[in-house]
Amino acid sequence: MSSLSVKDLTKSFAATPVLTGVDLHVPTGSLTALLGPSGCGKTTLLRLIAGFDDPDSGTVVVGDRVVAGPGQSVAARRRGIGFVPQEGGLFPHLSVAANISFGLSRRQRRDGDRVRELLALVGLHGDLADRAPHQLSGGQQQRVALARALAPEPSLVLLDEPFSSLDASLRDETRLAVAAALSASGSTAVLVTHDQAEALSIADQVAVLRNGRLVQLTDPRTLYRQPTDLDVAAFVGEAVVLDADVRSGVAHCVLGALPAEWAGPGSALPDGPARVLLRPEQLRLVAPVPGAPVARVRRVDFYGHDSRVWLELAGGGTVSARLEGVDVPSAGDDVSISVHGAARVFPPQADVARESAAAAG
């Protein structure tokens, strides 16, 4: 397996720019998720890496080999890259074994050991080898597609939203099996997804694309806790964004005086107007306490393992809190709000695509 390095990659279709100066490094043996909304350039970037399209400028390097760059382009079939498409792309007229061994030498096809090894690697029983793809579940088909991609021992594996067509329970099970197989094989992999939970739960690092630019590349925990801007914050999780006034390192807002963590340029937290980011799980609710911020519960969305509580603030505006367990307030209750942990502070001009009032009510 090899590392992947993308440098200053650009791509336009007609007069429409799709990627603008993208830099990306994927270390050997790691899994990187390309995360972003539809139309941000994720699949285009994957296709440029795979060799299905050529960039307008920039370079793609797999290991120490330049596969795309000024005046050169290695054909897709010669890049040593495995590809798992969205729907799996299995050959319907071939058995599972024949699909997996399609890219192997004749000797390896006859032997059969490699097929059995790969089926075990992706968590499938060997007795599925003689079945046709239509005799498998959607999750099994995606695992077979991964086994086929891994069969010739590629330098890099690319996966283009491989779980998007599966139902929720099957998607969770399949992505965990695929992540385990990639890890067990020591594969270097790039996964395209628009599912934030998917990216955060299985990737070693997450690359967030927005409007054709890579806006943040870091590990999942840092991405969630320290997003570079409010749009990234809102995209990778639920966000509570409030206006505040910072004085002596403390952010004063409708929820009280909060310890602050600066997200803007420079290292010092400046005094003055700002915007603060909190995650809904940082909000704690108790019976009304004199002197503490009070809100009225507008709605409770119960999910079993936790609940989302929509709160109408006394001064106007709505925020949401995420609470564990079943002991939650009811619609119409008045509660006091406390905040656990620090608020992440952004410059006052920072903007974010907020949920509409209709979504909250």
Q: Taking the domains of the chain in order of start, what are their residue ranges?
A: 4-225, 238-355
Beta strands at 306-313 and 256-262: parallel, antiparallel or unpaired = unpaired
Helix (H) or strand (E) holding 122: none
Give the model confidence (pLDDT) of 186-230 as tens digits: 999 999 998 898 999 999 999 999 999 999 999 999 999 999 999
Give the model confidence (pLDDT) of 141-159 as tens digits: 989 999 899 888 899 999 9
List CB contacts of 210: < 8 A, sequence separation 6 or more: 36, 37, 40, 231, 232, 235
Instruction: Give the phi and the psi of residue 13 in degrees, each rounded to 5.
Output: -115, 115
As a 3-state breakdown, the chain gives helix, strand, coil percent values, each rounded to 5, of 25, 35, 40
Report the distance separating Cα 159 and Cα 157, nearest Å.
7
* CA angle (223 as vertex; 251, 320 as ends), nearest 5: 55
Pick 232 or 109 by higher pLDDT: 232
Instruction: Tell me the DSSP string of 22-77.
Output: EEEEE-TT-EEEEE--TTSSHHHHHHHHHTSS--SEEEEEETTEEEEETTEE--GG
* Token pair 């795309």 in the structure block, residue: 68
Structure tokens at 25: 């490094």
**Distances in whole angstroms, Cα of residue 253 to Cα of each of 87, 183, 231, 339:** 48, 45, 20, 11
Report the distance separating Cα 351 and Cα 346, nearest Å.
9
| DSSP summary character for residue 74 | -
Q: Does 360 score more than 60 pLDDT?
A: no
Q: What pLDDT is stored for residue 361 in this prediction?
A: 43
Question: Where are the alpha helices (H) located in the chain, listed in sequence order?
Answer: 42-50, 96-100, 106-111, 113-121, 138-150, 168-185, 196-202, 220-225, 230-236, 357-360
Report the distance separating Cα 37 and Cα 329, nearest Å.
34
Percent of the chain with pLDDT over 70: 96
Give the model confidence (pLDDT) of 79-90 as tens digits: 999 999 887 789
Pick 352 or 167 by higher pLDDT: 167
* pLDDT band, residue 61 (cuts 50/70/90): very high
**Burial class of 321 by CB neighbour count within 10 A (0 to 12, 13 to 18, 19+):** buried
Report the distance separating Cα 27 and Cα 293, nearest Å.
47
Check whether domain 238-355 has CATH 2.40.50.140, yes or no: yes
pTM of the model: 0.87
Do 108 and 117 meet the contact criterion of CB atoms below 8 Å apart?
Answer: no
Q: What pLDDT is stored for residue 153 in this prediction?
A: 87
Report the distance separating Cα 322 and Cα 336, nearest Å.
15
Q: What pLDDT is stored for residue 350 in this prediction?
A: 63
Q: What pLDDT is stored for residue 243 in this prediction?
A: 94
Under CATH, which architecture does the 4-225 domain have?
Answer: 3-Layer(aba) Sandwich (3.40)
Structure tokens at 134: 């239509």
Structure tokens at 349: 């001009």
Report the distance separating Cα 18 and Cα 168, nearest Å.
30
Tell me how crowded residue 214 is: count the other CB atoms within 10 A of its CB.
Answer: 22
Torsion, Cα of 156, 159, 160, 165 (10° steps)? 170
Across-strand partners of 82? 157
